[in-house]
Amino acid sequence: MRRLTSTTIVTALGATALLVPASAAHAHEYEYDTVQTDIGVTAVGPEAATPGDAVTYTLKVTNWGRAATSTFVRLTLPTGTTDATHEDRPVVTNRLLVNNLPPGETDTFKVTAKIGSHGNAKDLPANFVVDGGEGDFPLYRDTNPSNDTVNVTTKNTKEVVGPRLSLKGVLKGIKQTGRTHVHKVTVTNTGDAPTERVQFTGSMHPKSKGVFGVKGVKDANGTFNSTGLSYSLPALKPGASRVITVGVRTTKQPGGFGGLYTAGAVGTDVDLDLRG
């Protein structure tokens, strides 16, 4: 069988010269004879990281076989990871090119990236695979696929708190007795996960003449009366808020302002004392 010397073709990865067997470029003239060798990869990364941190993965690609060849390293970084670079150049199509690696040699690559949240999971997994290509003309035939893949697991140091509620409120119109005043109460999910439905209740000051109207309870189930209110509010996404406005009649005597409010959901409960 006639063999050709290697030839150069241009790849999509930054127009890098990729050394492949010449038979791949001239298959119409010669029978294609794929190189057989053993390419393996190892990798290390950060033991722990907080989403948003810049991290570095160090990859080592080794040719354990007897023939020089080129290969690709396919990268699968934690979900949401951005700005992956190698030697100050962006990593395109999540692949790195290892060009013409001689037998017994190792190439080392450092990939930096801004790590993603991966849905606030406990671990942030990454995966690296050496790949000789597919189709009719692969770069090589790997004789030992067992070392083609490596996984790196980084612990997510971000606190996962689940749903968490907060209550804030203000009173308006309490300077004059004998008139109505308003309670403006904000319920917020400050946690990392959605709540289930939120039970929102309020008890008026004993000297109050009672509630006459409630706003901000659209899509909620519940009611109010002269002494208080109780509503089941729709679930709140992380960071979402609902503002509830309560109109209250006051007495002609000093006092009787405000109320005591509670917001609760599975795993979280919070009180707000808004009494004057």
- The pLDDT of residue 6 is 34
Lowest mean pLDDT among 17-26, 104-113, 121-130: 17-26
Q: Is the pLDDT of residue 261 over 70?
A: yes
Residue 158's pLDDT band (boundaries 50, 70, 90)? confident
Lowest mean pLDDT among 39-48, 61-70, 202-211, 222-231: 202-211
Residue 135's pLDDT band (boundaries 50, 70, 90)? confident
What's the CA angle centered on 94, arms 90 and 95, to 5 degrees?
Answer: 90
Q: Is the pLDDT of residue 214 over 90?
A: yes
How many percent of the chain have pLDDT more than 90?
61
- The pLDDT of residue 29 is 47
Residue 93's pLDDT band (boundaries 50, 70, 90)? confident
Q: Is the pLDDT of residue 112 over 60?
A: yes
Residue 59's pLDDT band (boundaries 50, 70, 90)? very high
Exposed / middle / buried, residue 55 (Cβ in 10 Å: 0-12, 13-18, 19+): buried
Which domains does the chain show, CATH number per domain?
Answer: 7-156 (2.60.40.10), 165-273 (2.60.40.290)
User: CA-to-CA distance for 60 and 41, rounded, in angstroms?
Assistant: 6
Residue 254's pLDDT band (boundaries 50, 70, 90)? low
User: pLDDT, tens digit, for every residue of 188-203?
Assistant: 999 888 999 999 999 9
Among 236, 216, 232, smallest CA distance to 165 is for: 236
User: pLDDT, tens digit, for every residue of 139-152?
Assistant: 999 999 999 999 99
- The pLDDT of residue 20 is 52
User: CA-to-CA distance for 263 and 242, rounded, in angstroms?
Assistant: 11
- The pLDDT of residue 37 is 95
| Residue bearing the bigger pLDDT, 173 or 153 | 153
User: CA-to-CA distance for 253 and 33, rounded, in angstroms?
Assistant: 100
Q: What is the pTM of this model?
A: 0.55
Q: What is the mean pLDDT of residues 237-246?
A: 96
- The pLDDT of residue 137 is 82
Residue 14's pLDDT band (boundaries 50, 70, 90)? very low
Residue 19's pLDDT band (boundaries 50, 70, 90)? low
Going 14 to 19 to 24 to 26, the CA torsion angle's sign is positive
| Residue bearing the bigger pLDDT, 38 or 157 | 38
Give the DSSP H/E element, type plus range, for residue 25: helix 22-25
